[in-house]
C-alpha cells in the first residue's frame, strides 16, 4: 500500500503500540460475512452503488479508498479513526502521511454512510469501519480486480491518536527488513506485505515521496535498489527539481487505472518508483514472490484477498471500546 512517510524511526514506540492495538484475537469472532443480512440487507449493495458513482466522477476514489483502509487499520486498528475530524485539525487525517489522504475518497465514504443511514431500518446499524472495508473491496473489483466477500461486524473507535501516525506506517525508503518487521507486528507475513503492495497497481504518490530517489540515483555507483534509466528520465519530467507540492505520479506506469499484476511486472524491469517497491524485486528473499505474482495474476489476486482479510481483522473494537457512529467524522 502507499508508503507515505520517510524513515524508520520510532520502532520502539511501534512495538509498544501494537501490543495495545492487537492483531485480531477474540475480535475476529465477531466478524463474519453477510453480517448485516438481517439487520440492513441492502447495506453492501448501497455502498457499492455510491462508491461506483464517485469512482466514475474521480478515479482518485479508487487508490484513495484503499489507502484510507490501510492507514486506518495500521494506525489504531480497523475502527474508522482515520475518518474523525477535529475542529482544529488536530486529528489523524492531518498528521504526517495521513495529511495526503484523498479528499475524494473521504467524501465517498461519508456519502456511502449517509446513504446507508437513510435506508429503512438501517439508521445506527452499520459502522463506518465496515463501510470503509466494503468500499475498499468495491474499488478493487470495480477497477478490474477480484470480487470477494468481506468480513463485517466492526465497531467505530471513539478516539484518535495523531502522534503515532508517523511511527506506524511504512516509509517510501523502507528496505525489506523494515517492511517485514512493520507488517509482522500487525500479524502479516512477507507474502501478505508483497500482495498488499500490489494495490499500488492503481496507486499514486506525490513527488516529495520519491524526488530524493530520482535525483540522487547514480547508475555507475550501483545504487540499490536500481531504476530503469528511461523510467528515471520520465519521472524527472513529471517531477522537476522545482516541483509543485501537489504534483504526483502513478505508481504503475503501464496500466494505472486497472487493478492487475502489472505492478509486479514493472518491478522486474526496475520501474518501481518508490525504493520500498523496487526493493521487493531487488532483494533475493522477496523476488520469487514478485516473479510469481508477475507471471500469475490469479496467484496475486488470491494472495491479495487473503491479505486484505487479515488486514481487516487488525485491532477490531468490541463492546464499550467502540460504537456505531451516526456520521463518520465525529463520535456520537
Residue 231 inside a domain? The answer is yes
Residue 332 inside a domain? The answer is no
With cut-offs at 50, 70 and 90, classify the pLDDT of residue 108.
Answer: very high
CATH number for the domain harbouring residue 240 = 1.10.420.10
Residue 268 is predicted with a pLDDT of: 98
Q: Which of 93, 153, 41, 118 is nearest to 327 (CA)?
A: 118
Query: Do 54 and 180 belong together in one domain?
Result: no
pLDDT per residue over 131-181, tens digit each?
999 999 999 999 999 999 999 999 999 987 766 777 889 999 999 999 999
- The answer to whether the beta carbons of residues 211 and 240 sit under 8 Å apart is no
- Dig out the grid coordinates for 244 from the structure: 509543485
Residue 32 CB neighbours (<10 A) = 12
Query: Do 304 and 189 belong together in one domain?
Result: yes
Question: What is the rounded CA–CA span in Å between residue 276 and residue 267?
Answer: 11
Question: What is the rounded CA–CA span in Å between residue 240 and residue 76?
Answer: 36
Average pLDDT of the residues in 251-264: 98
Question: What is the rounded CA–CA span in Å between residue 113 and residue 101?
Answer: 18
Q: Which of 111, 78, 75 is nearest to 93 (CA)?
A: 75
Query: Do 161 and 228 belong together in one domain?
Result: no
Query: Do 301 and 319 belong together in one domain?
Result: no
- The answer to whether the beta carbons of residues 30 and 318 sit under 8 Å apart is yes
pLDDT of residue 247 exceeding 80: yes
Residue 195 inside a domain? The answer is yes
Average pLDDT of the residues in 94-101: 51
Residue 290 inside a domain? The answer is yes
Residue 8 inside a domain? The answer is no
DSSP state for residue 327 in the 8-state scheme: B
Q: Does 200 appear as a known binding residue?
A: yes
Q: Does 79 appear as a known binding residue?
A: yes
Q: Does 226 appear as a known binding residue?
A: no
Classify residue 88 by burial, with Cβ atoms within 10 Å: 0-12, 13-18, 19+.
exposed
Query: Do 98 and 238 belong together in one domain?
Result: no
Residue 1 inside a domain? The answer is no
Q: Does 130 appear as a known binding residue?
A: no
Grid cell 437513510 in the structure block, residue: 118
CATH number for the domain harbouring residue 155 = 1.10.520.10
Residue 100 is predicted with a pLDDT of: 59
pLDDT of residue 283 exceeding 70: yes
Q: Which of 201, 209, 203 is nearest to 264 (CA)?
A: 201
Residue 2 inside a domain? The answer is no
Query: Do 274 and 319 belong together in one domain?
Result: no
Question: What is the rounded CA–CA span in Å between residue 73 and residue 315?
Answer: 7
Query: Do 160 and 204 belong together in one domain?
Result: no
Query: Do 218 and 286 belong together in one domain?
Result: yes
Query: Do 143 and 188 belong together in one domain?
Result: no
Question: What is the rounded CA–CA span in Å between residue 30 and residue 200?
Answer: 30
Q: How many domains does the chain have?
A: 2
| Structural domain boundaries enclosing 281 | 176-308
Query: Do 228 and 96 belong together in one domain?
Result: no
How high does pLDDT run on average in the chain? Answer: 88
Q: Does 260 appear as a known binding residue?
A: yes
Q: Does 191 appear as a known binding residue?
A: no
- The answer to whether the beta carbons of residues 298 and 6 sit under 8 Å apart is no
- The answer to whether the beta carbons of residues 165 and 92 sit under 8 Å apart is yes
Query: Do 55 and 159 belong together in one domain?
Result: yes
Average pLDDT of the residues in 13-40: 65
The residues pairing with 323 across neighbouring beta strands, listed in sequence order, are 156
Q: Which of 203, 208, 253 is nearest to 66 (CA)?
A: 203
pLDDT per residue over 201-229, tens digit each?
999 999 999 998 998 866 554 446 899 99
Q: Which of 227, 222, 247 is nearest to 237 (CA)?
A: 247
Q: Does 77 appear as a known binding residue?
A: yes
Query: Do 204 and 258 belong together in one domain?
Result: yes
Residue 10 inside a domain? The answer is no
Residues annotated catalytic, as ranges: 71
Amino acid at each position: 500500500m502507499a508508503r507515505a512517510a520517510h524513515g524508520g524511526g520510532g520502532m520502539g514506540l511501534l512495538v509498544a503500540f501494537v501490543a495495545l492495538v492487537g492483531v485480531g484475537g477474540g475480535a475476529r469472532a465477531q466478524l463474519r460475512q453477510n453480517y448485516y443480512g438481517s439487520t440492513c440487507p441492502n447495506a453492501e449493495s448501497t455502498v457499492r452503488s455510491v462508491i461506483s458513482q464517485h469512482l466514475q466522477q474521480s478515479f482518485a476514489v479508487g487508490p484513495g479508498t484503499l489507502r484510507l483502509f490501510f492507514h486506518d487499520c495500521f494506525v489504531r486498528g480497523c475502527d474508522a479513526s482515520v475518518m474523525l475530524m477535529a475542529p482544529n485539525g488536530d486529528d489523524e487525517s492531518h498528521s504526517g502521511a495521513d495529511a495526503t489522504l484523498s479528499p475524494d475518497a473521504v467524501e465517498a465514504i461519508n456519502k456511502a454512510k449517509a446513504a446507508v443511514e437513510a435506508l429503512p431500518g438501517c439508521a445506527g446499524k452499520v459502522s463506518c469501519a465496515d463501510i470503509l472495508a466494503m468500499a475498499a473491496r468495491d474499488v478493487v473489483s470495480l477497477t478490474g480486480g477480484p470480487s470477494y466477500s468481506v468480513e463485517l461486524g466492526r465497531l467505530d473507535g471513539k478516539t484518535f491518536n495523531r502522534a503515532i501516525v508517523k511511527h506506524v506506517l511504512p516509509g517510501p525508503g523502507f528496505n525489506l527488513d523494515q517492511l517485514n518487521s512493520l507488517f509482522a507486528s500487525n500479524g502479516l507475513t512477507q507474502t501478505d506485505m508483497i500482495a498488499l503492495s500490489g494495490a499500488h497497481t492503481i496507486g499514486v504518490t506525490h513527488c516529495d515521496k520519491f524526488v530524493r530517489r530520482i535525483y540522487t540515483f547514480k547508475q555507475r555507483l550501483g545504487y540499490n535498489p536500481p531504476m530503469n534509466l528511461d523510467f528515471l528520465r520520465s519521472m524527472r519530467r513529471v517531477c522537476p527539481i522545482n516541483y509543485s507540492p501537489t504534483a504526483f505520479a502513478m505508481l504503475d506506469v503501464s496500466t494505472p487505472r486497472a487493478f492487475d499484476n502489472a505492478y509486479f511486472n514493472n518491478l522486474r524491469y526496475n520501474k518501481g518508483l518508490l525504493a520500498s517497491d523496487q526493493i521487493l524485486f531487488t532483494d533475493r528473499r522477496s523476488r520469487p514472490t514478485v516473479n510469481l505474482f508477475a507471471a500469475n495474476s490469479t496467484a496475486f489476486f488470491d494472495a491479495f484477498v487473503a491479505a486484505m482479510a487479515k488486514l481487516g481483522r487488525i485491532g477490531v473494537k468490541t463492546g464499550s471500546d467502540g460504537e456505531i457512529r451516526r456520521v463518520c467524522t465525529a463520535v456520537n
